[in-house]
Chains A and B, each alone.
Chain A
Amino acid sequence: MGSESYLGFEPSPATREEMETLVLADDDDRFHSSMSSLSAVPATADPLLSPPDPSPSASSPDPPPYADVVFSSYESLPNAAVSSSDSPPLSRNPSSLLDHRSPAEYAKITVSNPKKEHELAANSLVPGSGTFVTYLITSRSLDPGSGPAEISVRRRFRDVVTLADRLAESYRGFFIPPRPDKNVVESQVMHKQEFVEQRRSALEKYLRRLACHPVIGRSDELRAFLRVEGKMPLPASTDVASRMIDGAVRLPKQLFGEAGGGYVAPQEVVQPAKGGRDLLRIFKELKQSVANDWGGAKPQVVEEDKEFLERKEKVQNLEQQLSTASQQAESLVKAQQDIGETLGELGMTFIKLTKFENEEAMHNSQRSRAADVKLVATAAVKTSRLYRELNAQSVKHLDTLHEYLGLMLAVHSAFSDRSSALLSVQTLMSDLSSLHAKAEKHEAASSKIFGGDKTRNHKAEELKRMIRVTEDAKSCALRGYERIKENNRVELERLDKERHDDFLAMMKGFVVNQVGYSEKIANVWAKVAEETSGYARERI
């Protein structure tokens, strides 16, 4: 792995050029952390970011005949442009304050080119089944030793689910970015363009976020997903039903103590019981958790880390506030959008009125009124456009709130990794103590009987063996638990730091945006006020 230097956020010399061109080429990235919702796909894909129409509003019957209404696009508006000639003191560049959170191994990931494909063994009973959509996923590796820099693979959504599942298994305790939702809908809807586009964009976001995670971005799973061409190389998850069936098959063996049953293999113990096939283990741990909740005896190992508990509470509090803030941010954006729209409609109405007065003018006063109306109409249309752009930018900034809200899921997941690992440890320890108790009893009983009983000895041997194995499993589980605890801790720190930076950037971006556009809007109306000031002149 040639990217150790990433830890210090310094690109290795070989890739610095790439990073620099990357940063400069895409102005929008300056605003955002890796958590941004910005996609590299042309802005027309995002309805909110569509470039301003030459005609002021979509419902306009004919475009206005004057050139001064049409102005240049503010689309990819870097900060500098916003603060241009209008307000010199505003030339703050937030990019210098932003963390350049660039991915560990991959310079740029794009998801594009959705295509319908057909499964070979199509089930003709269900209409539409057997077809699915694949996406072209292109990534450029920053690791010079890993083959061609840019590789494209074709993956379907099911593969993404697999990736997510494998990551969840391998990286317990980490805050793994949540994958896009599965949509259990008709395959008709699945193929609709809008849905496909939404999914494409969500996939891109997801993969980029994965790539930006300091640990997961370097994982084998992600690399396999992104760089191994052809069929998806990771083992697929199986559905709950078949797992249960598998588990049910094993259960009798486990219960009757045959070889291979009745205890948990060490390598399995580090996985939570719930998602697995081991029904017996599931039952045992369930029993343990009930005992924890209701039973009198306290388990031998409990969650003691006060610091962790404090932070957990903090995170829960944060989540609550994030949820509210995220909602209100959405309403704010909507309200801004509405006011812009209404201004646009007002402008259109006035344009029509101007035309009407001019056509029907029989007096000069009408003509001058028509000119006044036109002034207001033009200003209203301009302002409407400015609001639209303001909003597009606001969405980008405030999206940080939504992003972090989504991340809370990952945090929950990591915390539950921890608690299920703890539960496994507790269960095993209970097992152990009951095994020890059995062994003691057996010992005590057999010491009263003279002579070796073959079966009795056999049982003693068996018990000893089970104790040994369970001890191993317990050590494994404990180690796993400690590892997860450490992951939690590291991740919490990372969350705090990144959140601080991201929120700050969000606030700055939002505020700067508001200032810039408000100034522009003020100018537009100031001019109109100036030009109509004659009507107010006689007032005292």
Chain B
Amino acid sequence: MKLVSRSSSKEIRYSRNNPNSLSKPGSDSAGRYSRALLLPASPSWQDRRKVAMISTQRSLSGSSSQSPRSPSSPLEPFLFVSVTDPVKLGNGVQAYISYRVITKTNFPEYQAPEKIVIRRYSDFVWLRDRLAEKFKGIFIPPLPEKSTVEKFRFSAEFIEMRCQALNVFINRIASHPDLKQSEDLRTFLQEDEETMERARFQETGIFKKKPADLMQLFKDVQSKVSDVVLGKEKPVEETDPEYEKLKNYIFGLEDHLAEAQRQAFRLVKRHRELGDSLSDFGKAIKLLGACEGDSLGKAFSELGSKSEMLSIKLQKEAHNLLMNFEEPLKDYARAVQSIKATMVDRANAFRQQCELAETTKLKEINLDKLMLMRSEKAGDAEIEYNELKAESEEATRRFETIVKLMSEEIVRFQEQKTADMGLAFHEFAKGQAKLANDIANAWRSLLPKLDACS
């Protein structure tokens, strides 16, 4: 695997909700929203950054349109992907949502400059799993969760959130210097649906393991047993203090984010509740106004109407919060899970390395003994030793790769998260400010009318 040095960060942004989205109950497509994708700045650029807008903001119809700006220089490699247009397919229990995945690229490895395929959630899962297998050490971008509640699975809101999250997922992969070279990514982006389905089915269970992997599994089990037998039950762990610090950080961060996510969820709910009570209050006040009659009654009626109008604004803001504040926080939490998965990989690699090193050492000692004794077993033993030595070196290489990758990934992660959360906070603050202003304006407009009543 080629290691490319990364000089600048790549960010995926969550951007403002499309105001046209979601409030159309009848449409198949659950929602549109614009998204800014920042292309990785290759070392040759300094100033100009390119922004590709995978936007469907302006289109009101069901079809999506992307209008990526052409790169400033036609020779620059680019890979634009977008996930849009969720459509419910199938019937009953087997119903599922399919998404359109549109790719535009000039990578030579790709068959065509533009390709559109249909993919479903499990295809994304397949891709994620393959990448996790092959790119140990890299924090694989997180996927949105599977939905456990049946009823919710097809709600417009859930589908919109998922579509957005999948789009972010694929774009993060497409902008990661290593991941974007992946063959599995190419398969995902290009192959027709049948090939994809076949690939997906092959992934289950033990069939995906190559024979060498199976042997390794076997050996792992063996060594575990001998460990237990020998009383060495404690798993072997790194003692790198900086890594320790990182581990503690990740676990602490996980807790904080879980709490933050909970609060964000509750905040969305509260907005909805306030909207509901404003609506009920407005109705009641209008009825009271009807009782009163004359100017007072009119004033009441206006008050009630404003209240109802504000209720709608609150529901809108609740949705905005969901997509642009709660979702980024959830994404953050998922990213932490992805890091934890890499940490597990690293621990496994470390353990393997240690065990193999140990076994090799034992074998070496044994070999020396045999050679001294000029035993005929020495030949075989030497072959075994050499094999083991190669494996041990391989394991060491694997481990060291993971360590190196992780250290780079962590920098990248922090930068990416700062940008992601910065945007999320910005949107959050903007939304809250706008809501508060709308509320102030609505009520303020009543005052001259109230004055006229007295």
**What is A's interface to B at a CB cutoff of 8 Å?**
90, 92, 97, 314, 317-318, 321-322, 324-325, 327-329, 331-332, 334-336, 338-339, 342-343, 345-346, 349-350, 352-353, 356, 360, 362-363, 365-366, 368-369, 372-373, 375-376, 379, 383, 500-501, 503-504, 507-508, 511-512, 514-515, 518-519, 521-526, 528-529, 532-536, 538-540
Tell me which of B36, B263, B427, B436 contacts A349 (CB under 8 A).
Answer: B263
Nearest B residue to A366 via CB reads B414
The residue that A536 contacts in the complex, of B263, B276, B426, B444, with Cβ under 8 A, is B426
CB–CB B270/A372 < 8 A: no
Asked if B185 is at the interface of the complex by the 8 Å CB criterion, the answer is no
Once A332-B277, A336-B274, A504-B296 are accepted as A-B contacts, the answer to whether A525 and B245 lie under 8 Å apart by CB is: no
Q: Is A511 within 8 A of B253, CB to CB? A: no
- Nearest 10 pairs between A and B by C-beta? A535-B422, A522-B436, A518-B440, A525-B433, A528-B429, A532-B426, A529-B429, A346-B263, A369-B418, A525-B432
* Complexed CA–CA distance, A508 and B302 (Å): 12
In the complex, what residues of B have CB within 8 A of residue A525's CB?
Answer: 429-430, 432-433, 436
Give the distance in Å from the alpha carbon of A325 to the alpha carbon of B450 in the complex.
Answer: 19
Residues of A within 8 A of B281 (CB): 325, 328-329, 331-332
Which single residue of chain B is at the shortest CB-CB distance from A534?
A: B422
Contact for B291 among A318, A334, A375, A504, CB less than 8 A: A318
Q: Which residue of A lies closest to B438 (CB)?
A: A518
Q: Is the CB of B422 within 8 A of A369?
A: yes
| A350 contacts across to B, CB distance below 8 A | 260
Q: How far is the CA of A503 from the CA of B277 in the complex (A)?
A: 20
Q: Is the CB of B252 within 8 A of A360?
A: yes
Q: How far is the CB of B256 from chain A (nearest CB, A)?
A: 5
Instruction: Flag if B256 contacts A352 (CB, 8 Å).
Output: yes
Main secondary structure, interface of A, reads helix
B362 at interface (Cβ–Cβ under 8 A)?
A: no
CB pair B278–A332 under 8 Å, yes or no, is yes
Instruction: Determine, out of B113-121, B156-164, B282-290, B379-387, the stretch whose residues face the partner at the interface.
Output: B282-290
Flag if A519 contacts B454 (CB, 8 Å).
no
Our pick among B51, B280, B283, B299 for the contact of A539 (Cβ within 8 Å) is: B51
Q: Check if B418 sits within 8 Å of A366, measured CB to CB.
A: yes
Q: Looking across the interface, which residue of chain A has its beta carbon closest to that of B306?
A: A511
Q: A363-B414, A375-B425 are in contact. Are A538 and B49 (CB under 8 A)?
A: yes
Residues on A with beta carbons closer than 8 Å to the beta carbon of B267: 339, 342-343, 346
Query: What chain A residues lie within 8 Å of B427 (beta carbons)?
Result: 536
Q: In the complex, A452→B252 CA distance in Å?
A: 116
**Do the beta carbons of B264 and A346 come within 8 Å of each other?**
yes
Kindly list chain A residues whose C-beta atoms are within 8 Å of the C-beta of B363. Answer: none
Given contacts A539-B15, A540-B36, contact A383 B432 (CB under 8 A): yes
Partner of B418, one of A336, A352, A365: A365
Q: How far is the CA of A169 from the CA of B381 in the complex (A)?
A: 116
* Overall SS of chain B's interface: helix
Query: Does B447 touch A at the CB level, under 8 Å?
Result: yes
**Beyond A332-B278, A372-B421, A503-B296: 11 further Cβ-contacts under 8 Å?**
A331-B277, A335-B270, A342-B266, A350-B260, A360-B245, A362-B414, A369-B422, A376-B425, A376-B428, A511-B443, A532-B423
- By the criterion CB–CB under 8 Å, are A372 and B422 in contact? yes
List chain A residues, Cβ under 8 A from B80. none
Which chain A positions have C-beta within 8 A of B278? 332, 335
Question: In whole angstroms, how far apart are the Cα atoms of A351 and B171 in the complex?
Answer: 31
Is B245 a contact partner of A511 (Cβ separation < 8 A)?
A: no
Alpha-carbon distance between A97 and B296 when the two chains are bound, in angstroms: 14
User: B382-426 toward A: CB 8 Å interface, digit per residue (1/0)?
Assistant: 000000000000000000000000000011001101110111011
In the bound complex, residues from chain B placing their C-beta under 8 Å from that of A372 are: 418, 421-422, 425
When the two chains form their complex, are residues A328 and B284 in contact, meaning their CB atoms are under 8 A apart?
A: yes
**Which residues of the partner chain A approach B439 to less than 8 Å between Cβ atoms?**
514, 518
Asked if B222 is at the interface (CB within 8 A of a chain A CB), the reply is: no
Decide if B296 touches A500 in the complex (CB within 8 Å).
Answer: yes
A4, B432: Cα distance in complex, Å: 55
A522 and B291 in contact, given A325-B284, A339-B270 (Cβ under 8 angstroms): no
Chain A to chain B contacts (Cβ below 8 Å), 5 pairs: A324-B287, A342-B270, A504-B453, A525-B433, A536-B426
Complex interface: chain B residues within 8 A of A324 (CB): 284, 287-288
